[in-house]
Amino acid sequence: MALNHLLPILGTAGIGMGLGGMVLSQIDPTRQSTVFALEGLGLLCLFVYFVGNWKRLKTFSSRRSTRLGFNGILSILLMTGILVIINFLVIRHGARWDFSETQHFSLAPQTLQVLGNLKQNVAITVFSHERSPGFRTYRDLLEGYTYTSPQISVTYVDPEQAPDKARDHEISKIDTAVFQSGERTIHVTKPTEMNLTSALIRVTKDQTKRLIFLEGHGERQITDQERGGFSLARDNLEAHGYTVARGSLMTDPTLLEDADVLIVPGPRESLAPVELRRITRFASEGGRLLFLLDPRTTTGLDPWVSEWGLTLGPGVVVDPEDRVAQGSPTALLVRRFTNHAVTKGFTAPVLLPVSQSVTFDRQAAAADLTFTSLMQSSEQSWAETTFHQTTPELEEGQDIKGPFALAGVLARKTEPSGSPVTPAMVIVGNSAFASNAYVKFPGNADFFLNAVSWLADESTLISISPKESTFAPFIPNPTQEHLLLAVQVFSIPFLLLFLGVTIWRRRRSL
């Protein structure tokens, strides 16, 4: 009889010791002997409890209500097991969908390409806290990075609670992310996808490509922060890991010795013969060239580019079909791109404030050169050579009918050995599109960066730049503008007036 009174106590003690051993194993894994003792005593108490209550349990289990209750408990356990397995599979092999209107939680193709090619571990430490304005943006973006690549690890540190760690990483402001890979360290102070991807590229690159902007002939300056300057283009290139410098070939004959790409941004004066010879030697040794040449300017480059089989102009391209709505017909909104690596996947148009055509004469060029157009004007375009009227009109016999190539790639053909195509130059019939006044236009920024990236042989950067969650305005061409005017201004009001008169006459006749 005394044992029967002790059985409930033994059962409760057995359950308590079993649970206590499980909790202790999670809290302090080093105390394995104590855990083993608790689990052993718990099993012993439960064994004694079941032996002492064997007859009672046998009688209880034979009841109909017990069988029904057991079936219910078993069903609950089975459903719980199914849910546990489903959650396990979702955590290990789950997918992500982004249903937001601006695709705020989706990474850009460039970022996905960089993460897919990542071969080394990158540790990202974000010095921020939940009350900071940049914390949520960092978290939303970096969740996509860690989900895409197992090489990325992210740690969040509150600099107010860990000032020593912030001091070690030289953190001077809140919302700063530190990218570390090996001995390289990059700081990011603005949580945007472009900045994060750029830092990821820079921290994992073994060496940086050097870009030279030519000056001394009235070119657009990378230090100029006015509308016509190239300071924003320089900042964008540096954010993508390039080393950007400027100089003159007249004063510095060694300027191109360690350069990867020479950029000539809209010269207004003629280049000296000695400079052209140095550029020719640079190109013949495998150097890459980017020419941004405005129409109706004296650069002295026409004879030089003709040796490559290229002709610039004549005149200014006018395109009634692809132009800025209600703007100048010479301000082109180019929507026609070829399937070259520079423009592959383009969806945003490129705005050229004014442009000249680029023509390639295969007979005049060397046999190992090939030309590929990057942007095309429409079949309605022409090259305007006389501007004696406010609104240019096509003059048969004087103006040249399009379509025209507005930018192109001149490259060397693939050699029999199977070596990759060696790019020689990219030439664009306008330089203002990359200036501070226009480079923020999405298509302009993409085209300029992709052209430089292809010339620099940076395959991971040849894609659309990372998306920002900004409003994308609808810019109609003239045909779309006339259609919207006809529908919104005339058709819909006339239809409402007609319906109103019809209803009024019908009611009056009742």
pLDDT at residue number 157: 92
Q: Contact, 219 vs 213, CB < 8 A?
A: yes
Q: At what angle do helices 32-52 and 54-61 cross, to 10 degrees?
A: 70
Burial 211-222 (b: 16+ CB within 10 A, else e): bbbbbbbebbbb
Instruction: Write down the mean pLDDT value for the chain.
Output: 80
pLDDT at residue number 418: 46
What is the C-alpha separation between 383 and 403, in angstroms, rounded? 9
Between 435 and 506, the more confident residue is 435
CATH of the domain spanning 109-188: 3.40.30.10
Whether the full predicted model's pTM is greater than 0.75, yes or no, is no
Pair of tokens at residue 197:
């991807």
Which residues is 214 bridged to in the sheet? 247
What is the C-alpha separation between 479 and 325, in angstroms, rounded? 9
What is the C-alpha separation between 394 and 372, in angstroms, rounded? 27
- Give me the residue spans of the domains in the chain: 2-93, 109-188, 208-461, 483-510
What is the C-alpha separation between 334 and 447, in angstroms, rounded? 11
- Which of these ranges, 96-100, 358-362, 447-451, has the smallest mean pLDDT? 96-100
End-to-end, the C-alpha distance of the chain in Å comes to: 101
Q: Contact, 107 vs 469, CB < 8 A?
A: no
**pLDDT band, residue 274 (cuts 50/70/90):** very high
Q: What angle do CA 148, 149, 150 make, to 5 degrees?
A: 130
- CA proximity to 261, closest of 287, 243, 235, 234: 287
Peptide bond into 150 cis (omega under 30): no
pLDDT at residue number 440: 85
How distant is the alpha carbon of residue 106 from its chain centre?
Answer: 10
Residue 509 in this model has a pLDDT that exceeds 60: yes
DSSP state letter for 271: P
E strand or H helix at 406, and its extent? Answer: strand 405-412
Residue 184 in this model has a pLDDT that exceeds 70: yes
Peptide bond into 191 cis (omega under 30): no
Dihedral sign (CA 99, 104, 108, 113):
negative
Segment 131-173, tens digit of pLDDT? 888 898 899 889 889 888 889 999 999 988 888 888 888 887 8
Query: From the CB of residue 237, how many other CB atoms can be counted at a distance below 10 Å?
Result: 25
Q: Give the long-range contacts of residues 385-392, CB within 8 A, separation 24 or more.
A: 385/314, 385/315, 387/316, 391/329, 392/318, 392/329, 392/330
**pLDDT band, residue 76 (cuts 50/70/90):** low
Query: From the CB of residue 491, how many other CB atoms can be counted at a distance below 10 Å?
Result: 12
- CA proximity to 122, closest of 209, 199, 176: 199
Name the CATH superfamily housing domain 208-461. Class I glutamine amidotransferase (GATase) domain (3.40.50.880)
